[in-house]
């Protein structure tokens, strides 16, 4: 190697060493400065009202860590695919406030631990066989009770959604035919309608405002429900948007069809009443009726037979 090459290599090595030393020396200093600045910002925000920062509440220090541990235990005990299933049921239930997938896992684990504790207490009292039954039954019930409650909540909400759809479509049809745009009509329905459909339309508007297309937002609405009428309504709107059909006519036809289906569903429920009332009639009303009608005669016959002897 020539002298010039050795000189270039030496200069490059020295430059690299200086750059590395600068990074090692400057980076901790800058991170410490940013950390101090961030701490000063937090302290300044905490002392805006002139009060000293108070200790976090008991829910932050005790309850939340316990719920997180329970959530990890519940997640380990559930099979693969359970989070997606629970999220689907939460969507069907309208995502109630305070309910989340992690909280569902925590509730399942807490129910399991409570059931096991009850079984252990019964076993400790000396009744081993009964304690084993309590342990198995209470643990299973405690583990699956949150799922049952969530499923029941979803069924009730879907039923309420099914009942409120025809009135909401009538209101939307009136708004669009009166000259409002489709989005403005949805906003009017979201403000004035009753039932879960108002919340669904409000969420639909928010999703379109943050950048979702109308077709994608409506398809997500159809995925969040099991109501057939809503799915048909979404399919009709998507087709009309793709084909350029006026929305007023589509909404008018959909509203009329929804009213017809609601009347048919009411007639169907009325036809089921005689069959549903048959079993209470046979098991509860007829025995009491027989006792009232035949009882006095049976008593007189018994007295006559006893007196004849």
pLDDT tens-digit series, residues 54-92: 556 655 666 666 667 777 777 777 777 788 888 888 888
pLDDT tens, residue by residue, 268-284: 989 888 888 888 888 88
Mean pLDDT on 200-222: 88
CA distance 270 to 272: 5
Listed in sequence order, the DSSP H helices in 178-285 are 182-192, 196-209, 214-223, 228-243, 247-280
Q: What angle do CA 14, 15, 18 make, to 5 degrees?
A: 85
CA distance 138 to 87: 25
Confidence of residue 128 (pLDDT cuts 50, 70, 90): confident
* Higher per-residue confidence, 6 vs 150: 150
What is the phi/psi pair of residue 246, to 5°? -60, 135
User: Buried b vs exposed e over 73-87: b needs ≥16 C-beta within 10 Å?
Assistant: bbbeebeeebeeebe
Residue 31 has pLDDT above 60, yes or no: no
CA distance 163 to 281: 29
Compute CA distances 250 → 181, 206, 233, whole Å: 14, 23, 9
**Residues present in the chain in total:** 309
pLDDT tens, residue by residue, 248-272: 888 888 888 888 888 988 899 898 8
User: Domains plus CATH for the chain?
Assistant: 164-265 (1.20.81)
Check: CB of residue 261 under 8 Å from CB of residue 268.
no
What is the phi/psi pair of residue 211, to 5°? 125, -5
Burial of 58 (0-12, 13-18, 19+ CB in 10 A): exposed
Q: What angle do CA 145, 119, 63 make, to 5 degrees?
A: 55
- Give the per-residue pLDDT at 278: 86
Check: CB of residue 145 under 8 Å from CB of residue 115.
no
Residue 4 has pLDDT above 70, yes or no: no
Residue among 174, 114, 111, 184 nearest 146 (CA): 111
pLDDT tens, residue by residue, 143-185: 888 888 889 999 999 998 988 888 888 888 888 888 888 888 8
Helix (H, G, I), strand (E, B) or coil at 52: coil
Instruction: Report residue 54 CA to chain centroid gap.
Output: 34
Check: CB of residue 157 under 8 Å from CB of residue 93.
yes
CA distance 104 to 154: 14
């Amino acid at each position: 190697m020539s002298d010039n090459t050795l000189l270039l290599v030496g200069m490059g090595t020295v430059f690299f060493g200086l750059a590395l030393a600068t990074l090692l020396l400057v980076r901790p200093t800058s991170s410490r400065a940013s950390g101090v600045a961030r701490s000063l910002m937090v302290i300044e925000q905490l002392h805006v009202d002139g009060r000293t920062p108070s200790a976090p509440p008991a829910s932050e220090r005790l309850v939340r860590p316990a719920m997180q541990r329970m959530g990890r235990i519940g997640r380990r005990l559930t099979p693969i695919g359970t989070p997606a299933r629970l999220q689907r049921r939460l969507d069907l239930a309208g995502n109630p406030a305070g309910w989340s997938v992690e909280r569902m896992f925590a509730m399942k684990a807490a129910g399991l631990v409570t059931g096991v504790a009850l079984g252990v207490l019964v076993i400790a009292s000396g009744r081993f066989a009964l304690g084993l039954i309590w342990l198995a039954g209470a643990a299973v019930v405690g583990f699956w009770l949150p799922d049952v409650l969530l499923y029941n909540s979803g069924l009730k909400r879907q039923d309420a959604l099914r009942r409120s759809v025809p009135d909401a479509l009538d209101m939307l049809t009136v708004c669009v035919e009166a000259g409002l745009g489709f989005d403005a009509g949805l906003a009017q329905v979201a403000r004035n309608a009753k039932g879960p459909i108002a919340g669904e339309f409000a969420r639909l508007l928010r999703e379109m405002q943050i950048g979702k297309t109308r077709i994608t937002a409506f398809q997500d609405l159809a995925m969040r429900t099991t109501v057939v009428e809503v799915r048909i309504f979404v399919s009709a709107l998507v087709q009309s948007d793709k084909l350029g059909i006026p929305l007023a006519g589509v909404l008018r036809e959909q509203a009329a069809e929804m009213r017809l289906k609601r009347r048919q569903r009411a007639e169907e429920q009325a036809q089921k009443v005689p069959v549903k009332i048959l079993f209470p009639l046979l098991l509860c009303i007829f025995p009491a009726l027989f006792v009232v009608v035949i009882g006095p005669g049976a008593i007189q016959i018994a007295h006559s037979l006893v007196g004849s002897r």
